[in-house]
């Protein structure tokens, strides 16, 4: 993996490191296309990845200095999709700069929206998280080589530039693996459990059998170890990518900026019943997507706990010889957990002619008081963007690495960040009974009692111990699997 291109001067190099912000977002496709019928293709919906880029632009412009630069690195699965993402994000940046009353008031009479747009940069790269060889090549090039936008971009064309570090990586990309919807089951669920519970924790999605990537010739994987498609797209591809990007996410003792952040995107559907560590990739059960999100919760929330640390520390430690850096002097990145609430997404297998009904059900749930039905990608991006932009002391003071931060919305469309209950963990990794929950000082939909799953039980100290032990076992399994695949991929490199 040798890249000879000489770097060109990047526009963000004109300002010091503390005025630069580099954020990588996986799965930032411009659109999630609704299924087609014959020649007809209906409305297109923006995904959470694109919404995250848009929200980062808005909140960055509202909170950072007038000389700071934002560098967004949205990934997609192909160069054409990357071009679409670049054009959409840059068009949004122009609109944001032109209409920002905050910027005008801060900059005064000398405000020029063109100067603002010149501080917003989009560098979109292709990445297939199911292709572990491509994941390693992607990380290697980002660390040691130069990167460019696909040819064809008419705006700012970034070519052969270096990315000196990453401040946040937002692991948004996912694959659902569903075949359709059990409509009779959906109606029965709504009659017996109510609309809000049914569309928050749906039990009527028909899952496809777990696809084994080893059986797909395009990946040229060995027969063993098995690698499931949903598991790879949602968890393991990101897991390998994060380790490979450690030289960009870690910080030396002399660094003037804080360590990077690994921001996992989970789901409100990640409940206890969908996961078993003995079938971590969900080969034998139908809830592969939900299982992957429960695994994400377990990994992220236990990463810094004593039982998991012997394994998580390996993942957060650079390999020997990486960039010639002494690993003992590097501060590792911080790990955080978020989820977008419930967004009208084509991950959920609803035919185009019923998508309006699906979206209406989510909107009605929000009217009925649900905090989780954010509905659109921009609203669903609130939690991930919030974690990416918060000052480190504020996150540390909040114990943010022990909390699952969810995007929430109320009936007035006010969007906020809400602590999310995790079965077996609670809201903050400590026991809370009914009295403690009632004493929560948050108001409105942000109160802990709002948006709870029916039948959930208050967490006990024993539950939390079991959660940590399960998390440690998951970390052990993940590290063993990563080591197996690392040996395979290194053998490929040597050939």
CATH of the domain at 339: 3.40.50.720
Residue 323 domain flag: yes
- In the three-class reduction of DSSP (H, G, I as helix; E, B as strand; rest coil), residue 308 is classed as coil
Closest CA to 300 of 228, 404, 389: 404
- What's the confidence (pLDDT) of residue 403? 98
- What's the confidence (pLDDT) of residue 111? 84
Residue 470 domain flag: yes
Residue 232 domain flag: yes
Q: Which residue has the higher pLDDT, 431 or 322?
A: 431
How many angstroms separate the CA atoms of 136 and 1, rounded? Answer: 10
Out of 46, 189, 266, 408, pick the active-site residue. Answer: 266
Which segment of 53-57, 156-160, 168-172 scores lowest on mean pLDDT? 156-160
Taking residues 228-240, what's their average pLDDT? 97
Q: How confident is the model at residue 492 (pLDDT cuts 50, 70, 90)?
A: confident
Residue 5 domain flag: no
- Could you give the number of structural domains in the chain? 1
- What's the confidence (pLDDT) of residue 24? 98
Q: Indicate if the pLDDT at residue 103 is higher than 90.
A: no
Give per-residue pLDDT as tens, 456-490.
999 999 999 999 999 999 999 999 999 999 999 98
Check if 476 is active-site: no
Check if 221 is active-site: no
Residue 156 domain flag: yes
Residue 3 domain flag: no
Check if 358 is active-site: no
How many angstroms separate the CA atoms of 87 and 342, rounded? Answer: 26
Neighbours of 296 (CB within 10 A): 25
Q: Where are the alpha helices (DSSP H) in 75-203?
A: 79-99, 101-107, 113-117, 132-144, 183-193, 195-200
Q: How confident is the model at residue 75 (pLDDT cuts 50, 70, 90)?
A: very high
Residue 4 domain flag: no
Handedness of CA 134, 139, 141, 142 (dihedral sign): positive
Looking at every residue in the chain, the average pLDDT score rounds to 90
pTM for the model stands at 0.94
Taking residues 161-170, what's their average pLDDT? 96
Residue 6 domain flag: no
Q: How confident is the model at residue 282 (pLDDT cuts 50, 70, 90)?
A: very high
Out of 100, 168, 175, 293, pick the active-site residue. Answer: 293
Out of 239, 289, 336, 378, pick the active-site residue. Answer: 289
**Highest mean pLDDT out of 4-13, 231-240, 318-327:** 231-240
- What's the confidence (pLDDT) of residue 346? 73
Q: Indicate if the pLDDT at residue 342 is higher than 50.
A: yes
Range of the domain at 420: 11-494
- What's the confidence (pLDDT) of residue 354? 80
């Amino acid at each position: 993996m040798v890249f000879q291109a000489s770097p060109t001067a990047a526009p963000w190099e004109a300002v010091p490191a503390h005025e630069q912000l580099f954020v990588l977002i996986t799965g930032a496709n411009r659109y999630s296309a609704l299924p087609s019928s014959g020649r007809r293709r209906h409305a297109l919906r923006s995904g959470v990845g694109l919404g995250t880029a848009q929200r980062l632009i808005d909140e960055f412009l509202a909170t950072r200095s007038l000389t700071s630069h934002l560098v967004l690195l949205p990934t997609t699965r192909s160069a054409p999709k990357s071009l679409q993402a670049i054009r959409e994000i840059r068009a949004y940046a122009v609109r944001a700069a032109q209409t920002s009353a905050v910027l005008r008031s801060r900059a005064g009479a000398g405000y020029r929206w063109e100067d603002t747009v010149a501080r917003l940069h989009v560098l979109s790269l292709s990445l297939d998280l199911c292709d572990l060889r491509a994941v390693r090549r992607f990380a290697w090039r980002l660390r040691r080589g130069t990167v460019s936008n696909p040819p064809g971009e008419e705006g700012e064309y970034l070519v052969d530039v270096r990315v000196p570090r990453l401040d946040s990586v937002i692991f948004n990309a996912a694959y659902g693996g569903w075949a359709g919807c059990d409509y009779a089951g959906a109606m029965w669920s709504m009659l017996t459990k109510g609309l809000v519970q049914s569309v928050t924790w749906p039990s009527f999605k028909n899952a496809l059998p777990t696809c084994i990537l080893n059986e797909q010739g395009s990946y040229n994987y060995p027969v063993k170890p098995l690698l499931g498609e949903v598991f790879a797209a949602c968890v393991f591809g990101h897991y390998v990518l994060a380790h490979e990007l450690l030289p960009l996410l870690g910080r030396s003792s002399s660094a003037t900026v804080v360590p990077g952040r690994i921001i996992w995107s989970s789901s409100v559907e990640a409940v206890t019943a969908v996961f078993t560590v003995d079938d971590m990739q969900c080969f034998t059960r139908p809830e592969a997507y939900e299982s992957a999100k429960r695994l994400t919760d377990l990994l992220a929330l236990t990463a810094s706990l004593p039982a998991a640390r012997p394994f998580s520390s390996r993942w957060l430690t650079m390999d020997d010889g990486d960039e010639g850096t002494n690993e003992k002097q590097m501060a590792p990145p911080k790990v955080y957990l978020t989820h977008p609430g419930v967004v009208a997404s084509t991950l959920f297998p609803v035919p185009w002619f019923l998508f309006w009904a699906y979206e209406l059900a989510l909107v009605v749930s929000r009217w009925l008081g649900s905090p989780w039905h954010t509905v659109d990608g921009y609203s669903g991006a609130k939690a991930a963007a919030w974690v990416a932009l918060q000052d480190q002391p504020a996150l540390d003071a909040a114990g943010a690495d022990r909390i699952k931060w969810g995007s929430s919305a109320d009936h007035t469309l006010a969007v906020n960040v809400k602590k999310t209950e995790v079965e077996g963990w609670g809201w903050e990794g400590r026991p809370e009974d009914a009295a403690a929950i009632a004493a929560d000082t948050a108001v409105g939909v942000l109160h802990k009692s709002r948006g709870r799953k029916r039948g959930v039980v208050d967490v006990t100290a024993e539950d939390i111990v079991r959660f940590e032990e399960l998390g440690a076992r998951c970390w052990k399994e993940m590290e063993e699997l990563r080591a197996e695949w690392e040996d395979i991929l290194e053998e490929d490199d040597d050939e």
